[in-house]
Amino acid sequence: MQTFYNVMTTVDDKGRVTAAIVGTVEAKIRPESSFTNKSRRDVYNDWFDTLEEAQEFVEEAKTA
């Protein structure tokens, strides 16, 4: 089993971006990333193999 890290990123209609590590899961294979289009924002759930990769993604998203 391996720990995978979930990063949720939201982009609202004005282009504001928020991102955070919101959870982990223990699994044999990485869960699939997903996308949801809400009325006023898009929500992305991305999964990463390491905490470092997840943290780097969060930092990059915040400066986008």
At 2-49, the pLDDT tens digits run: 999 999 999 999 989 999 999 999 999 999 999 999 999 999 999 999
| pTM of this structure | 0.90
Scanning the chain, the segments in alpha helix (DSSP H) are 51-62
Local confidence band at 63 (pLDDT 50, 70, 90 cut-offs): confident
Q: Which residues contact 22 (CB under 8 A, 6 or more apart)?
A: 6, 7, 8
The predicted pLDDT at position 5 comes to: 98
Q: Calculate the alpha carbon distances from 53 to 3, 16, 48 in Å.
A: 13, 22, 6
